[in-house]
Amino acid sequence: SQKIEQNSEALNIQEGKTATLTCNYTNYSPAYLQWYRQDPGRGPVFLLLIRENEKEKRKERLKVTFDTTLKQSLFHITASQPADSATYLCALVPSRRGNEKLTFGTGTRLTIIP
C-alpha cells in the first residue's frame, strides 16, 4: 500500500542546533515533493518544493534533500530558533503524470528549546 511516513511524531531540539526531519514514502514515484509548516489552528504555509531530478534545495536556513533511490526526503533547519517550533508536513504529488492530488504525511511537531 502507499504510505508517506514522517518518522517522528514529535522532535525536541536545543536552540542553535540543526533540526533534521525525515519523510519516507513507499509505492510512490513522485515528481515533486514539498514541505509545509503548520502552526496550531492555522493552515499550512509552503516552504520548499524539490523536483525528482534535484538532489538538494536551500532557502535561507532551510535545506531539503530528495533521494529517489532511498525514497526519502530530509528537511533541515540550521541555527534553529524557538520561532521555528511548529508542525512540519511533507507532501508529494504521487505520480509523474501531473495534475494529481497533493498527499500529505502526518507531520512532525518540532519544538525548539531555548
Partner 1 sequence: GAVVSQHPSWVICKSGTSVKIECRSLDFQATTMFWYRQFPKQSLMLMATSNEGSKATYEQGVEKDKFLINHASLTLSTLTVTSAHPEDSSFYICSATPGLAASYEQYFGPGTRLTVT
Q: C-alpha dihedral over 62, 9, 73, 35, to 10 degrees?
A: -50
11 binds partner 1 (CB under 8 A): no
Measured from the CB atom, is 98 or 114 closer to partner 1? Answer: 98
Contact yes or no for 71/46 (Cβ under 8 A)? no
Give every CB contact of residue 14 below 8 A, 6+ residues apart in sequence: 80, 112, 113
Q: Of 13-21, 58-66, 74-82, 96-104, which segment contacts partner 1 by CB under 8 A? A: 96-104
What's the CA gap between 103 and 100, in Å, rounded? 9
The least CB distance from residue 19 to partner 1, in Å, is: 19
Q: Rule CB under 8 A: which of 21-50 touch partner 1?
A: 31-32, 34, 36, 41-46, 49
Pairing outcome for strands 108-113 and 10-14: parallel
105 binds partner 1 (CB under 8 A): yes
The least CB distance from residue 29 to partner 1, in Å, is: 13
The least CB distance from residue 34 to partner 1, in Å, is: 6
What's the CA gap between 64 and 41, in Å, rounded? 25
Return residues touching partner 1 (CB under 8 A).
Answer: 31-32, 34, 36, 41-46, 49, 89, 93, 98-107
